[in-house]
Amino acid sequence: MTSPREIAAALVLLLAALGGVYAVARTGERPPSTLDLSLPWSAQEFHTKDAARFAEAVHEATEGRVRVVLHTGAVLGIKGPDSLRAARDGVVAMIDMAAFQQVGMEPILGLDALPFLVRDQAELRLLHEDLRPAIETALARHGLRLLYVVPWPPQNLYAKRRIETFADLKGLVVRTLDANTTELARRLGMTPVQLAAPDVVPALASGALDAVFTSTTTGAAQKYWEFLPYIHRTNHGWVTNLMVISERALKALAPADRRALIRIARTLEPEFWEVSRRDDLAKLALLEAHGMKAIVPDSALRAAMQAVARPMWEAYAARVPHARAILDRFLVRTGRAPLGTVPPEAAS
């Protein structure tokens, strides 16, 4: 159901468009274009700062003819899981959204979030060589164009106690963020509680949680050192953000401005990935400076955790058949057995 805020936002955009038509008719010149960009993230998040830099570069390259206006913190009433639908329906011209939150409409957008599939940022780049065209095709079905992709830092396991063996995971009440991490927690013998990020701190403060799955970015922002002494660098999951624009808004731009906007997105994307990598290291240093102990799981624990995740990849490929080829190619390119085969480590 469309919310009152979404209706109001749509009316604002409609009035702006009508004003532009009137200006062209009166003067014969194209007026400056305003592109409203909705972000669920706060103004302090690095993704928002990336978007601000993108907007500034577009404004400069188009000599002021295109103005991208940021609306942060879901101020327009568009929450994360509603992003794809809002963009499709034209509530805003642009939106920055977490891909995994849109799997109800496009399951392929959750592929890179499969637990333990991607082990580092270099592998994530490799995966997106094949995944990106599938994402673009999925977005095109909704009248949207992908501008750039930027990952959050990898997921960690924050916990009240140090995890040294697989058995140490059993029974821990852990915050999960989606269906994937909830299923992973169950397979690890943990007790999952799926919570949105704003609900995690109250749950920690009340003692309802023993552990949390999330990034260093979120852990530092929510001051987890006040509740949990250990951060385990499991790298068990990745979340990628998609910056998209409606084809209607894109085609309304002058051709030169359209080309400039797309070019700037492609130019800045690698730099934004580096921003994410640096943010992870900076936030980890902040967590450690406040007394948290960073633990890298040993090879035995990592192997045991990864083993329970592989059946989840198989199940995903069964649900999303066109993802199988992408998964198999990625697994082979990263030195692992394709789906439907027994990994060497499992056979030994």
Return d(Cα 231, Cα 278) in angstroms, integer. Answer: 18
Write the pLDDT tens digit of every residue in 262-278. Answer: 999 999 999 999 999 99
For CATH 3.40.190.170, the residue range(s) in the chain are: 4-152+239-285
Write the pLDDT tens digit of every residue in 117-152. Answer: 999 999 999 999 999 999 999 999 999 999 999 999
Task: For domain 4-152+239-285, give its CATH number from 3.40.50.2300, 3.90.79.10, 3.90.1150.10, 3.40.190.170.
Answer: 3.40.190.170
Answer whether residue 215 shows pLDDT above 90: yes
Superfamily of domain covering 156-237+293-347 = Periplasmic binding protein-like II (3.40.190.10)
pTM recorded for the entire structure: 0.88
Q: Are 61 and 253 in contact (CB under 8 A)?
A: no
Q: Please name the residues in contact with 334: beta carbons below 8 A apart, sequence gap of 6 or more.
A: 119, 123, 126
Give pLDDT, residue 6.
Answer: 52
For CATH 3.40.190.10, the residue range(s) in the chain are: 156-237+293-347
